Amino acid sequence: MAEKSASSSRGWIITLVVAAVVIVLIVVAKSALKEKVEVRVAKAARTDLVSTESTNGQVKAIQDYQAHVTAPGVVKKVYVAVGEHVQRGAELMRMDDTDAASRLATAQAALDAAIANLQNMRAGGTNDEMLGQKADLAAAQSQQKQAAAALSTIQALQATGSASANEVAVAQQHVTDANTKVAQLQAHIHNRYSTGDISVQQAQVEQARAAVMAAKAAYGSVDFRAPFAGTVYSVPVSDFDFVQPSDALLNLADLNHLQVTAYFDEPEIGKLRAGQPVRIVWEAKPDALWHGHVLRAPTTIITYNNTRHVGECIISVDDAHGDLLPNTTVTVMVTVSELHNVLTLPREALRPQGMKNFVYRVVDGHLHQTPVEVGASNNTRIQITAGLSEGDAVALSSPTNAEFQEGLQVKALPQ
């Protein structure tokens, strides 16, 4: 009976073992048959990490000259062409000076007349006026003597009873009138013009003198010469064109010494520092590349094109040789940080969760969530400062958009 019981127990144990083996085999088989998720994989590698900030900017020449006339006129002769390099003092353009000479002559005549009037006023009048005034005074003085003599005669007759008191009074009035007239003429000769009159005329002289100076400047500006050695990059007028003071006649610049005013949005301004290297590209010459450096980081915020709040950054162009034109719009790329031989990954490998960062390492065909610490970054890669070693394989993405999770069985796609 005991043997029968022991045999029955061994049978159950064997049955349980066989069942467990079958279950394990079934699980293993299912696992083996389960479809693996395809993922793109990258390895942590040591690279140089360069971070840049890009924006638009406008090229400006340090020495830039634009010719203008001071008064409307006609272009007589253009001596240069676009692209021509000229030396300092070279003749660029000449205006027709006929009208300018006429305006100068008119202004000079007005000044001469104003000065003559001032001199006459200070002297009391012109020569003719002075002669007339002296003649009038002489006539009045003669009448004064005659009236005095007549009074003396009437007074003598009154003493003998031959003249009445009324006749004496009339003679006395004639003397008084004559004296008054002489005094008035003498005062008029010596004080014909007041201090105020002379001040007004002095102001007119100064105004006329200023007009002559302006006319001389206009006359002198008919001949345009290069103020410095440079390249002519714009000539919008031709011989015999009529031009206004607001019209640009010619543009000259030193194309070997250029700067770029670049406009950076507010979030990027704090990354900019003087001395940072810069690359410059121009759409008109897509195969060309210029280099420079930051001369001055932004110091204030302005509104650009009524849409952007930007800071103006001044950038030198260190290798300009006449192939980049002023006033063109360019793209600048400032290197704001540069790290060498640091551990990096593609940015898409990072899986932020709140304040922490994770990646999914690929180990033996399975995903393992791994916390990492990050540092600098650029548009494509990010620095890993802790959590990974060089050569670690990390999942990037799945073509099927499968959701990554711990332990997920994956198949790495070929690079």
In three-state secondary structure terms, 381 is strand
DSSP summary character for residue 415: -
What SS3 class is residue 198?
helix
Q: What is the pLDDT of residue 140?
A: 74
Does pLDDT of 400 surpass 70? yes
What percent of the chain clears pLDDT 90, i.e. is strictly above it? Answer: 45
Q: What's the pLDDT band for 217 if we cut at 50, 70, 90?
A: confident
What DSSP string describes 243-305?
E-TTS--EEEE-TTSEEEEEEEEHHHHTT--TT-EEEEEETTEEEEEEEEEEEE---S-EEET
168-206 burial, b at 16+ Cβ within 10 Å, e below that, comes to eeebeebbeebeebbeebeeebeebbeeeeeeebeebbe
pLDDT, position 306 = 78
Q: How far apart are CA 65 and CA 235, in angstroms?
A: 12
Q: Collapse the DSSP code of 313 into the 3-class scheme (helix H, G, I; strand E, B; otherwise coil) and give the result.
A: strand
3-state secondary structure of 76: strand
State the average pLDDT over residues 14-25.
Answer: 63
Residues 6+ apart with CB under 8 A from 114: 201, 204, 205, 207, 208
What is the rounded average pLDDT for all residues in the chain? 84
Rounded to whole angstroms, the Cα distance separating 145 from 25 reads: 160
pLDDT digits (tens, 9 = 90+) for 328-383: 999 999 999 889 999 999 999 999 988 899 999 999 999 999 999 999 888 889 99
- How far is residue 350's CA from residue 174's CA, in Å, rounded to a whole number? 123
pLDDT of 190 reads 60
DSSP-based helix, strand, coil % in the chain, nearest 5: 35, 35, 25
Contact, 280 vs 330, CB < 8 A? yes
Q: Which of 4-18, 94-108, 256-270 has the highest mean pLDDT?
A: 256-270
Give residue 64's pLDDT band: very low, low, confident or very high (50, 70, 90): very high
pLDDT digits (tens, 9 = 90+) for 116-174: 887 877 776 655 666 666 677 678 778 878 878 877 888 877 788 777 878 778 878 88
Cα–Cα dist 235/241, whole Å:
12
- Identify which has the larger pLDDT, 92 or 125: 92
Q: Following CA atoms 151, 153, 158, 161 in sequence, which dihedral angle do they give, to the nearest 10 degrees?
A: -160
Residue 37 φ/ψ, nearest 5 degrees? -85, 125
Q: 7 in helix, strand or coil?
A: helix
Amino acid at residue number 20: A
Q: Which is it for strands 410-412 and 37-43: parallel, antiparallel or unpaired? A: parallel
User: Rounded CA gap, 85 and 148, in Å?
Assistant: 92
The CATH class for the domain spanning 36-62+254-415 reads: mainly beta
Query: Helix H segments across 34-97?
Result: none
Give the C-alpha separation, 281 to 286, whole Å.
Answer: 7
Residue 301 CB partners (closer than 8 Å, separation 6+):
266, 269, 309, 310, 311
Single-letter amino acid, residue 101: A
Q: Which residues lie closer than 8 Å to 169 by C-beta, 6 or more apart?
A: none
Domain-wise residue ranges, the chain: 36-62+254-415, 64-95+225-251, 106-216
Higher pLDDT, 70 or 35: 70
d(CA 261, CA 354): 39
Q: Please give the pLDDT value at position 232.
A: 95
Please name the amino acid found at residue 349.
A
Confidence tier at 19 by pLDDT (50, 70, 90) = low
Q: For residue 32, what pLDDT band results from cuts at 50, 70 and 90? A: very low
Q: Which region among 95-109, 110-124, 178-192 has the lowest average model confidence (pLDDT)?
A: 178-192
Residue 179 has pLDDT above 90, yes or no: no
Tens digit of pLDDT for each residue in 238-286? Answer: 999 999 988 999 999 999 999 999 999 988 898 999 999 999 999 999 9
Please state which CATH class domain 64-95+225-251 belongs to.
mainly beta
Q: How far is CA 270 from CA 294, 300, 303, 305, 363, in A?
A: 13, 11, 17, 22, 41
